[in-house]
Structure 1
Amino acid sequence: MKSAKALVLFFAITVAGVANAGGVQTWGHLSDALAVGLPLLAAGTAFGKGDSQGVKELTYTLGATLAADTALKSLIHEQRPDGSGKDSFPSSHTAIAFAAARFIDKRYASEASPYLYAVAGFTALARVKADKHYAKDVLVGAGLGYAAAEYFTRPIAGGAVSFMPGKSGVALLWQKPLF
């Protein structure tokens, strides 16, 4: 629960800073910080718990996320909204943020999971507000990161959020053991 409170405090301070500073450049700096912060939190959680298997799974998750992201960027070459000349599709920042959030959620069934997804979502919003990506870029990035973590991460604690495809759409599930 302490980590959840610390995460909420960090998020609140960060958002307050953006609200005061504003501007495209500030959104860019914020998205940089969040895209680094979530993987560091994931690594710190695994190391802090002495979870060498978790460190390995996080490494695979982030490696696969970056590999898929880089492959798509090299194939598609979509221009960024800001015209910077860098590839837009998909969003690496968003992919990494969602990979880290899903890793912590699935591996440790953290009480902070809703906050982690909120921070990852805010990373995506910040990339669009920074004029670095289009909405489709961050949506695909989020899917890449989530999918990589879903594939490479095994739970060690009870409870996790997951997606379940069906004939009429996709359901969001929260699973927690009764005993």
Structure 2
Amino acid sequence: MPGSFRFPCKKSRSAVVIRAAWLLLLPVWAGAEPTALARDVRALLKPQGLGGIAVAFGAAGLAHGLDDEFSGHLDNDLVAPLLNFGNAYLGSKHSLGSAAGVWLATGLMRRDGAHAASAEVLRALVLANAMVAPLKIVAGRERPDGSNEYSFPSGHSANAFAISTVLGRRYGRKVGLPLFVLAGFVPIARIHDRHHFFSDVVAGSVLGVVAGWAVERGDGEKLVLAPGYARGLWMLQAGWRY
């Protein structure tokens, strides 16, 4: 039955394990500081980080009941280009490779600011995918289109919100707000293309925010995730408290 959770076959598990190992080795190849990545992992294991991960599961559990309501294609010619744009530039499966390429290019060009930003994006993507890949193995949820059993959680959504969180925190609202709007089209696109259920993208999006916070956190900053309600819609609000 589509949307059910079951443990994937041995061959499928091996493929995801190899992918997860590649993700963890990528920062070393790209020259990321091991100490920085270690700090990021420690942040994830602190109460704030673990709490954020728990919120991802809780929000996904609440969203599970809406999977059938928020599903299928959107018959809107105006929205489709925005979905494709957001999916291609923020949520793409090539995000990690692109971030590594930007890191290398900015280093060669001696663009210190951009170089540091791309390194942080790369680390956030590694953290996000290091959380997502094992969860896909454990959950074994079949995609809406039946293509495989890696539906939960959404890696594309995690990538999009990890990137937006890092750059938004680094450059402020003028950059962060447009990026978060653009990132919002990624989960919609994944549902529209029948690659994910609503609960998949909710979990992935929150995990992406948590990964970005772990990289971009400051001294004394705490991650705050809280439900919000506006104009008849429930939403998840993310912010920082000092």
The TM-score, its normalising length taken from structure 1, stands at 0.66
Which shows bigger deviation, 110-119 or 48-57?
Answer: 48-57
Q: In structure 1, what residue type is equivalent to 2:112?
A: G
Distance in 2 (CA, whole Å) between partners of 1:131 and 1:91 is 12
1:54–1:147 CA distance, 2 compared to 1 (3 A): same
1:150-165 alignment runs, 5 A limit: 150-154=213-217, 164-165=224-225
Aligned CA-pair RMSD:
3.9
1:35-50 alignment runs, 5 A limit: 35-36=91-92, 47=106, 50=112
1:100–1:84 CA distance, 2 compared to 1 (3 A): same
Q: Does 1:122 align with 2:166?
A: no
Q: Secondary structure at the match of 2:224?
A: strand
Q: Does 1:134 align with 2:197?
A: yes
The TM-score, its normalising length taken from structure 2, stands at 0.50
Distance in 1 (CA, whole Å) between partners of 2:198 and 2:123 is 26
Distance in 1 (CA, whole Å) between partners of 2:160 and 2:199 is 16
Distance in 1 (CA, whole Å) between partners of 2:151 and 2:172 is 32
Are the aligned partners of 2:144 and 2:196 in contact in 1 as well (CA < 8 Å)? yes
Distance in 2 (CA, whole Å) between partners of 1:163 and 1:100 is 16
Q: Does 1:60 align with 2:60?
A: no
Equivalence for 1:31: 87
Distance in 2 (CA, whole Å) between partners of 1:38 and 1:115 is 18
Q: Secondary structure at the match of 2:112?
A: coil
Q: CA deviation at 1:109?
A: 1.3
Q: Does 1:19 align with 2:77?
A: yes
Q: Does 1:77 align with 2:135?
A: no
Distance in 1 (CA, whole Å) between partners of 2:186 and 2:102 is 19
Unmatched segments (≥5 aa) in structure 2: 1-75, 230-235
The number of aligned residues is: 149
Percent identity of equivalent pairs: 26
Q: CA deviation at 1:174?
A: 7.9
Q: Secondary structure at the match of 1:164?
A: strand
Are the aligned partners of 1:73 and 1:87 in contact in 2 as well (CA < 8 Å)? yes
Are the aligned partners of 2:151 and 2:200 in contact in 1 as well (CA < 8 Å)? yes
Which shows bigger deviation, 85-94 or 109-118?
Answer: 109-118
**Counterpart among 201, 205, 210 of residue 147 in structure 1:** 210
Q: Does 1:95 align with 2:153?
A: no
Q: Secondary structure at the match of 1:84?
A: coil
Q: Does 1:111 align with 2:169?
A: no
